[in-house]
C-alpha cells in the first residue's frame, strides 16, 4: 500500500506534505515540534491533525503487517490463489483481512471438523453444488456410511455434511461482508432489568433502540449496567431478512439438495453467524463509543489545562473536610508554601470563631488576596464559612471554587512526597488546590490525566488508548504555552517535546547545582540532553531575564539568525524588542512584501509570521487571552435559586448530551444539548468548552434530587414566563 497517497487522499492533503509528515514522524520528531517548527514542510498542519495522521499511519502499518502474516500463513498451507492474494492486497480494514483469513485459520474441533475427519466433505460439496435433479438424498449419502468412522446411517452422513456447509457459509468473506453491511438497517440493542432494585440504570430496564441511532454515552452506560449485573443486554435483528439474504447468496434453484442447503443456511445463521456478528456488533459499538468518550476527554482536558493563571497573588488553599478539619496552606505568587494550619469550622466541631481568628491572622500576616476552596466533601459549608469571614474583614479578599479532582491522588503520590516531605497527605492537597488556581497547567500535569475528572466513563476506557490520547493533549498544551526552564518542576518539563522524565530531572539537578540558566545554549550541557533532544525542546523552554531576549520567546534557536536578519532589515535591535518598541514591524513587513521578507531572512512565510508574533510579545502566554476564573465574595444556596434567574457560570464538564455549569452553588447545573444554542448542533463541544464563562438562566431546581436545569437560550425563559 502506498501510505503517502492513501493518507493524502484521506486527509485531503498535498502528497508532498504527507511525504514530509511521515518522514518527520519516522525520524523521531515529536508532534508539538513538527506542528510548531516544520510548518513549511507540513502545510501548517496543526497538532490535532498530525496526531490523527500518526494514529492512522500506525493502523495502516499494522494492517500491512497483518496482511503479510496472513499471506504467509495461507501460502505455507499451499492454499493461496491469485484471486485470494489480490483480495488480501486490496482490503483496507483489519476486519476484512480476518474475514478472508477465517477459512484458513487453525480452529478448535468443531462439528464441521469432526465431519471432515469422518470423510464427509465430498458429500458436503455434492449437496452444496445443487446439481443433482434425480434420485434420492439417501442414494446420495449411502456411499458415505462408514461404521468404523462412526457414520452409522445416511441421516448421520447428511447431518455431518450440513455441518460442513454451515461452517463454510459462516467463513465466507463475501457473505459476511453483505450481512455486515445490512446489520445497521435491521439491528437494535435491547436491555432488560436483571434486578428488582431501583438503580441509576432504571432508564434501561426496558429499553430498545436501533444501533445506528445509539449515542455513545448510552452504549457505555448500558455496558456498565451489564457489567454490574443489573442489565441483561442483547442484539435483536430481522432473522428472516438475514436468512433471505443468505439464501439469495447460496441457493441455486430447485435441485434435489436445495432444501438441505436451505436447512444448512438457517443453522449457519442461528448457530454460527449471528452469535459471531452479535459479538462483533457489540465490540464495534463499544470501540466507537470509547473512541468518542476518549475524544471528549481530550476536548475537555485541553481547555482545563489552558485555564488562565491567577498571577501575582498570595493564595490560601482551603481543603474542606468534616471530622478531620479543613487543611490550610498559604502560598506566595511563585507557589512557595508560606504557612500551613488546620481549622475546624465544619460539623461535627463547628469551631467557627476560632477558625475565623486563625484565618484573619493569616490574612494579616501574608496579605492574602484570594482563597482557593476545594469543591469536594464539606465544600458547601466551607464556602459559607469563608463568605461570612470575608464580610468581617477590611481587606479586599475574594474566593474561587477549585475543582479538586485528583488532588488526593497527587497528595498521596511519590512525587508529592518528594516535593513536600515535611507535610502530611492532607496538607499537600491544600497546597495543590492553591497552586491549581495560581497555575492550573503546572499543577495538573503532576496528576494522572484520568484522575482529573473531565469526561465520562473513564474507568471503562481501554487504558493504553486513553493514556495515549490524554498524554498527547497534555504535551500539546505544555508546549503551546512554553515553560520557564528556571522554575518548572521535573513533572512539567517531562511533557516538553524531546524530554524524558530522566532528562527532566537532570535539567532540575543542573539548575540546582549551577544556578539559573541564562542562555538556551546551556541546555546542551545537561547530561543526556543530546543534539536531537535539544532540537526538539529548545524552542519550548523559556529563559526570562536571560542574555538574549529571543530565549524568552518560542523562536527556535535554528531561526535566531533569521530573526536577527528581520530586525536588521527594518533597523530594529534586540533592545527595541525588549522595550516593546517594534509595534510598526508588521506594517513594515507588509509594505516590503511578506514573501520577499521571508526570502531575505531565509525562512518560509509561516515561520516568518511566527517570528514576528513572538518579537511583538516576548514571553507572552497564550492563556492570557482566555476567560479568567470567576472570583466571588458571597455564596448562594440551591434554595436561593428561582426559575428565570440569570448567572455567569463556568463550564466544568462537556459531555455528549450537554454541559455542566458552575454557577456558584454546591451543585453544578446541566444545560441540555437542546438548550445550548438557538440553532441545531450535533455536539455541545461545537459551542462550549471547559473553562468557558457563559451566561445561563435557571429553568428548574430540584433540591431533593440535587438537580439544576439551566439554559443558555434566554428565549426558553421568556417562553416559560409567557406560558404562565
Secondary structure (DSSP) of 485-528: TTT--HHHHTTSTT--HHHHHHHHHHHHHH-S--SGGGGGGSTT
pLDDT at 295: 86
What was the pLDDT predicted at 420? 86
383 and 376 in contact (C-beta within 8 Å)? no
Contact between 147 and 156 under an 8 Å Cβ cutoff? The reply is no
216 exposed, middle or buried (CB, 10 Å; 0-12, 13-18, 19+)? Answer: buried
Phi-psi sector, 28: left (phi>0), alpha (psi -120 to 50), beta:
left
Q: What is the pLDDT of residue 649?
A: 84
pLDDT of residue 724: 52
Q: What is the pLDDT of residue 521?
A: 95
Beta partners for residue 318, in sequence order: 328, 373
Q: Which residue's entry shows cell 518579537?
A: 615
Task: Count other C-beta atoms under 10 Å from residue 539's C-beta.
Answer: 25
Residue 462 to residues 228, 289, 446, 535, 538: CA-CA distances in angstroms? Answer: 18, 11, 22, 33, 34
Residues 320, 338: Cα–Cα separation, whole Å? 19
Contact 372, 434 (CB under 8 A): yes
Cα 392–chain centre separation: 45
The pLDDT value given to residue 184: 61
Cell match 446439481: residue?
A: 131
- What is the mean pLDDT, run by run of 10 residues, along the chain of 724 residues? 92 95 96 96 94 94 95 94 93 90 87 93 94 89 90 93 95 89 80 89 93 89 93 92 92 90 96 91 90 86 87 93 93 93 94 96 96 86 90 91 81 85 88 91 84 71 84 91 92 94 96 95 96 96 93 95 96 92 94 95 95 91 74 71 85 88 84 93 90 89 87 80 54
Q: In the prediction, which pLDDT does 220 show?
A: 92
Q: How far apart are CA 507 and CA 526, in angstroms?
A: 6
CB half-sphere exposure, 168, CA atoms < 13 A: 18
| pTM over cut 0.85 | no
Cell output for 396: 479586599
Three cell numbers at 334?
511563585
Smallest CA-to-CA distance from 560 within 549, 569, 570, 576 is with 549
Name the one residue in this structure whose C-alpha cell is 512554553.
482
616: exposed, middle or buried (C-beta count within 10 Å: 0-12, 13-18, 19+)? middle
pLDDT of residue 721: 53
Residue 319's Cβ-side half-sphere holds a number of Cα atoms within 13 Å equal to 28
Amino acid at each position: 500500500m502506498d501510505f503517502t497517497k492513501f493518507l493524502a487522499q484521506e486527509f485531503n492533503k498535498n502528497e508532498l506534505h504527507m511525504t514530509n509528515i511521515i518522514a518527520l514522524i519516522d525520524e523521531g520528531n515529536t508532534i508539538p515540534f513538527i506542528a510548531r517548527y516544520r510548518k513549511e514542510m507540513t502545510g501548517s498542519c496543526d497538532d490535532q491533525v498530525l496526531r490523527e495522521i500518526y494514529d492512522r499511519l500506525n493502523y495502516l502499518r499494522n494492517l500491512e503487517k497483518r496482511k503479510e502474516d496472513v499471506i504467509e500463513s495461507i501460502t505455507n498451507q499451499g492454499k493461496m490463489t491469485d484471486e485470494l492474494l489480490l483480495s488480501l492486497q486490496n482490503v483496507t480494514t483489519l476486519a476484512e483481512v480476518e474475514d478472508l483469513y477465517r477459512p484458513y485459520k487453525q480452529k478448535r474441533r468443531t462439528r464441521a471438523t469432526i465431519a471432515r475427519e469422518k470423510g464427509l466433505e465430498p458429500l458436503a460439496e455434492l449437496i452444496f453444488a445443487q446439481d443433482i435433479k434425480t434420485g434420492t438424498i439417501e442414494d446420495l449419502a449411502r456411499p458415505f456410511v462408514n461404521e468404523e468412522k462412526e457414520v452409522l446411517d445416511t441421516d448421520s452422513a447428511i447431518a455431518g455434511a450440513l455441518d460442513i456447509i454451515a461452517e463454510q457459509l459462516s467463513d465466507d468473506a463475501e457473505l459476511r461482508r453483505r450481512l455486515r453491511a445490512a446489520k445497521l438497517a435491521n439491528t437494535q440493542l435491547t436491555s432488560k432489568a436483571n434486578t428488582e432494585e431501583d438503580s441509576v440504570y432504571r432508564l434501561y430496564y426496558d429499553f430498545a433502540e436501533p444501533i445506528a441511532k445509539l449515542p455513545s454515552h448510552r452504549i457505555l452506560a448500558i455496558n456498565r449496567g451489564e457489567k454490574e449485573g443489573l442489565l441483561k443486554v442483547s442484539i435483536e435483528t430481522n432473522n428472516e431478512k438475514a436468512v433471505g439474504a443468505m439464501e439469495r447468496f447460496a441457493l441455486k434453484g430447485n435441485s434435489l439438495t436445495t432444501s438441505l442447503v436451505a436447512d444448512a443456511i438457517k443453522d449457519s445463521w442461528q448457530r454460527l453467524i449471528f452469535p459471531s456478528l452479535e459479538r462483533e456488533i457489540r465490540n464495534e459499538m463499544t470501540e466507537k463509543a470509547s473512541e468518542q468518550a476518549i475524544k471528549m476527554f481530550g476536548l475537555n482536558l485541553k481547555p482545563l489545562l489552558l485555564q488562565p493563571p491567577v498571577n501575582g497573588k498570595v493564595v490560601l488553599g482551603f481543603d474542606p473536610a468534616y471530622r478531620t478539619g479543613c487543611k490550610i496552606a498559604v502560598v506566595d505568587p511563585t507557589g512557595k508554601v508560606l504557612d500551613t494550619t488546620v481549622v475546624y469550622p465544619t460539623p461535627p466541631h463547628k469551631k467557627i470563631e476560632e477558625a475565623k481568628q486563625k484565618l484573619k491572622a493569616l490574612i494579616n500576616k501574608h496579605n492574602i488576596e484570594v482563597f482557593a476552596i476545594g469543591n469536594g466533601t464539606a465544600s458547601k459549608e466551607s464556602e459559607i464559612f469563608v463568605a461570612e469571614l470575608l464580610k468581617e474583614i477590611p481587606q479586599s479578599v475574594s474566593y474561587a471554587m477549585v475543582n479538586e479532582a485528583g488532588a488526593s491522588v497527587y497528595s498521596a503520590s511519590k512525587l508529592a512526597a518528594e516535593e513536600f516531605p515535611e507535610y502530611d497527605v492532607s496538607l499537600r492537597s491544600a497546597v495543590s488546590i492553591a497552586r491549581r488556581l495560581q497555575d492550573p497547567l503546572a499543577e495538573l500535569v503532576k496528576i494522572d490525566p484520568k484522575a482529573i475528572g473531565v469526561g465520562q466513563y473513564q474507568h471503562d476506557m481501554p487504558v493504553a488508548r486513553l493514556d495515549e490520547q490524554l498524554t498527547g493533549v497534555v504535551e500539546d498544551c505544555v508546549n503551546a504555552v512554553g515553560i520557564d526552564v528556571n522554575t518548572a518542576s521535573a513533572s512539567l518539563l517531562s511533557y516538553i517535546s524531546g524530554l524524558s522524565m530522566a532528562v527532566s530531572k537532570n535539567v532540575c539537578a543542573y539548575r540546582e547545582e549551577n544556578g539559573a540558566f541564562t542562555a538556551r545554549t546551556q541546555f546542551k550541557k545537561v547530561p543526556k540532553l543530546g543534539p536531537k533532544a535539544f532540537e526538539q525542546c529548545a524552542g519550548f523552554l523559556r529563559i526570562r531575564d536571560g542574555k538574549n531576549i529571543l530565549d524568552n520567546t518560542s523562536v527556535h534557536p535554528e531561526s535566531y539568525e533569521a530573526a536577527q536578519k528581520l530586525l536588521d532589515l527594518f533597523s530594529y535591535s534586540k533592545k527595541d524588542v525588549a522595550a516593546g518598541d517594534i509595534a510598526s514591524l508588521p506594517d513594515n513587513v507588509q509594505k516590503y512584501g511578506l514573501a520577499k521578507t521571508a526570502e531575505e531572512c531565509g525562512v518560509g512565510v509561516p515561520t516568518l509570521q511566527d517570528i514576528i508574533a513572538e518579537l511583538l510579545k516576548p514571553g507572552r502566554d497564550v492563556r492570557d487571552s482566555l476567560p479568567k476564573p470567576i472570583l466571588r465574595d458571597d455564596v448562594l444556596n440551591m434554595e436561593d435559586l428561582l426559575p428565570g434567574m440569570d448567572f455567569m457560570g463556568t463550564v466544568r464538564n462537556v459531555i455528549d448530551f450537554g454541559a455542566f455549569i458552575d454557577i456558584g452553588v454546591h451543585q453544578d447545573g446541566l444545560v441540555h444539548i437542546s438548550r445550548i444554542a438557538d440553532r441545531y448542533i450535533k455536539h455541545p463541544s461545537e459551542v462550549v468548552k471547559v473553562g468557558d464563562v457563559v451566561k445561563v438562566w435557571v429553568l428548574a431546581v430540584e433540591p431533593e434530587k440535587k438537580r439544576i436545569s439551566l439554559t443558555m437560550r434566554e428565549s426558553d425563559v421568556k417562553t416559560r414566563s409567557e406560558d404562565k
